[in-house]
Chain A
Amino acid sequence: MINWFKFSAPSTFYPLAGKLIPIFWTLAALFAAVGLYIGFFVAPTDAQQGEGYRIIFIHVPASWMSMFIYCVMAFWALMGLTFQTRLSGMMSSALAPTGALFAFLSLWTGALWGKPMWGTWWVWDARLTSELILFFLYLGYMALHAAIDDPRRADRAGAVLSLVGVVNVPIIYFSVTWWNTLHQGASVSLTKSPSMASTMLWGMLLMALAFWAYTIAVALMRARSIMLEREGNTEWVKHLPDVKEAV
């Protein structure tokens, strides 16, 4: 059995992350290349929305990732509060800016899609409002974390905020079924057969995989920086090849 706690030590995690980062960048580039090719050159024109629907290939993956990253942060928050591992808080703070970016992209692409199709950039309906709250939760996490000087206390405060805020995620997801909204229903359902052309679905799934690999790559990079910032005085950091190498 793998001893997972071994990897939760920054000294073990740092070199492991360094090996994983190029793998996930390669995966992100490959998935994005195929996903964009399908999205622009294979997927047919939509009968109702013409070419404007192609925003779906980033809007839906960005929205999925914004919700998924928050759940991962809540997972790390739970781990951090339960096992007191240093890695948990580092991973949460490494993920938050990327989550905020995807929440922003979800709102941005949604506005640019809503304007030509609904005639408005924004409506205060359940789906849009709950996604905006998610964006503010990410910003709130980052502000709270930055406001507390002691990193361990900042991690604990951030962990509580992530765990409280995670109730918003199912609200976003089910908002289209719970309330009457302008936003269309779920694009992909596990229980119903997909309502869209299979090439559209494949393009969307590949872009979601690209965003997923991107998130892992960039979050691991940021986690490594956080480790150096927080543990700069420790022996393992002083002996890192990255630090010892001449510029």
Chain B
Amino acid sequence: MQWASLSEFFAMGGYGFYVWGSFGVCAATMVAEPLLVRHRQKMAIRAIRQSQDL
């Protein structure tokens, strides 16, 4: 392992902005996508239930 401290890890040898900008957006979108799909699933089920009640 090449990190002496946590701040060194976050600094990424001066490339912190680029490395965390990449991993951050990647993580955020890959968390958001399944949440959006789960919302879509709930909406689809709700629409079916409403059409059955009518």
Contact = CB atoms under 8 A, between A and B. Distances in A.
B13 A58 contact: no
Interface majority SS (helix, strand, loop, mixed), chain B: helix
Interface residues of B, number: 31
Contact of B41 (A41, A44, A51, A221): A221
B21 A218 contact: no
A32 to B, nearest CB: 9
Interface majority SS (helix, strand, loop, mixed), chain A: helix
B22 A243 contact: no
A218 B25 contact: no
Nearest to A54: B19
Interface string A219-247: 00110110011001100011000110000
Nearest to A221: B37
Contacts of B37: 218, 221-222, 225
Contacts of B38: 221
B26 A62 contact: yes
18 contacts: A40-B9, A41-B1, A50-B13, A52-B14, A52-B15, A54-B12, A54-B19, A55-B18, A109-B22, A112-B17, A113-B18, A214-B30, A218-B33, A225-B41, A228-B48, A229-B47, A242-B45, A243-B45
Interface of A: 40-42, 44-45, 50-52, 54-55, 58-59, 62, 97-98, 101, 104-105, 108-109, 112-113, 115-116, 214, 217-218, 221-222, 224-225, 228-229, 232-233, 237-238, 242-243
Interface of B: 1-3, 9, 12-15, 17-19, 21-23, 25-26, 29-30, 33-34, 37-38, 40-41, 44-45, 47-49, 51-52
